[in-house]
Amino acid sequence: MESTIEQRVDVENVQQGSNWWSVLGFFIPLVGLILFLVWKTTNPKSAKAAGIGALVSVVLNLLVFVLLVVTTVMV
Protein backbone atom coordinates (compact mmCIF):
# COMPACT_ATOMS: atom_id res chain seq x y z
CA MET A 1 0.00 0.00 0.00
CA GLU A 2 1.34 3.42 -0.99
CA SER A 3 1.80 6.14 1.55
CA THR A 4 -0.18 9.37 1.41
CA ILE A 5 2.83 11.30 0.11
CA GLU A 6 3.36 8.84 -2.75
CA GLN A 7 -0.33 9.05 -3.64
CA ARG A 8 -0.19 12.86 -3.76
CA VAL A 9 2.89 12.76 -5.99
CA ASP A 10 1.12 10.33 -8.34
CA VAL A 11 -1.95 12.58 -8.50
CA GLU A 12 0.18 15.67 -9.18
CA ASN A 13 1.95 13.88 -12.02
CA VAL A 14 -1.35 12.87 -13.60
CA GLN A 15 -2.95 16.33 -13.32
CA GLN A 16 -1.34 18.42 -16.01
CA GLY A 17 -2.82 21.83 -16.62
CA SER A 18 -3.25 23.07 -20.15
CA ASN A 19 -2.54 26.57 -21.37
CA TRP A 20 -5.65 26.38 -23.55
CA TRP A 21 -7.75 26.90 -20.42
CA SER A 22 -6.07 30.26 -19.90
CA VAL A 23 -6.84 31.20 -23.52
CA LEU A 24 -10.48 30.24 -23.00
CA GLY A 25 -10.57 32.20 -19.74
CA PHE A 26 -9.04 35.21 -21.48
CA PHE A 27 -11.59 35.34 -24.29
CA ILE A 28 -14.58 34.34 -22.12
CA PRO A 29 -13.79 35.53 -18.58
CA LEU A 30 -17.05 34.31 -17.07
CA VAL A 31 -16.31 30.76 -18.22
CA GLY A 32 -12.78 31.05 -16.83
CA LEU A 33 -14.12 32.13 -13.46
CA ILE A 34 -16.67 29.32 -13.38
CA LEU A 35 -14.04 26.73 -14.34
CA PHE A 36 -11.72 28.09 -11.66
CA LEU A 37 -14.40 27.78 -8.98
CA VAL A 38 -15.45 24.29 -10.08
CA TRP A 39 -11.94 22.87 -10.55
CA LYS A 40 -10.00 24.53 -7.73
CA THR A 41 -10.01 21.36 -5.59
CA THR A 42 -10.22 18.60 -8.19
CA ASN A 43 -7.96 19.95 -10.94
CA PRO A 44 -5.90 22.81 -9.49
CA LYS A 45 -3.48 23.33 -12.38
CA SER A 46 -6.20 23.76 -15.00
CA ALA A 47 -8.23 25.85 -12.55
CA LYS A 48 -5.28 28.16 -12.03
CA ALA A 49 -4.77 28.53 -15.79
CA ALA A 50 -8.44 29.35 -16.41
CA GLY A 51 -8.52 31.78 -13.49
CA ILE A 52 -5.37 33.60 -14.58
CA GLY A 53 -6.72 33.93 -18.12
CA ALA A 54 -9.96 35.42 -16.82
CA LEU A 55 -8.13 37.76 -14.45
CA VAL A 56 -5.78 39.02 -17.18
CA SER A 57 -8.75 39.65 -19.46
CA VAL A 58 -10.63 41.66 -16.84
CA VAL A 59 -7.55 43.73 -15.94
CA LEU A 60 -6.79 44.50 -19.59
CA ASN A 61 -10.42 45.46 -20.23
CA LEU A 62 -10.32 47.84 -17.26
CA LEU A 63 -7.07 49.40 -18.46
CA VAL A 64 -8.49 49.93 -21.96
CA PHE A 65 -11.64 51.46 -20.47
CA VAL A 66 -9.65 53.85 -18.29
CA LEU A 67 -7.44 54.86 -21.21
CA LEU A 68 -10.49 55.51 -23.39
CA VAL A 69 -12.11 57.64 -20.69
CA VAL A 70 -8.93 59.63 -20.11
CA THR A 71 -8.36 60.28 -23.81
CA THR A 72 -12.01 61.23 -24.33
CA VAL A 73 -11.91 63.74 -21.47
CA MET A 74 -8.70 65.29 -22.82
CA VAL A 75 -10.18 65.91 -26.28
**9 pLDDT more than 60:** no
In a domain, 39, yes or no: yes
Q: Is residue 8 a part of any domain in this protein? A: no
pLDDT of residue 11: 54
Specify if 45 maps to a domain: yes
For the entire predicted model, the pTM comes to 0.75
Domain that holds residue 65: 17-74
Q: What band does 75 get if pLDDT is binned at 50, 70 and 90? A: confident
- First-to-final CA distance of the chain: 72
- State the total domains in the chain: 1
In a domain, 46, yes or no: yes
Contact by Cβ (8 Å): 49, 56:
no
53 or 7, greater pLDDT: 53
- Asked, for residue 3, whether it belongs to a domain, the answer is no
User: What would the pLDDT profile of 10-68 be if each residue is shown by its tens digit?
Assistant: 555 556 778 999 999 999 999 999 999 999 999 999 999 999 999 999 999 999 999 99
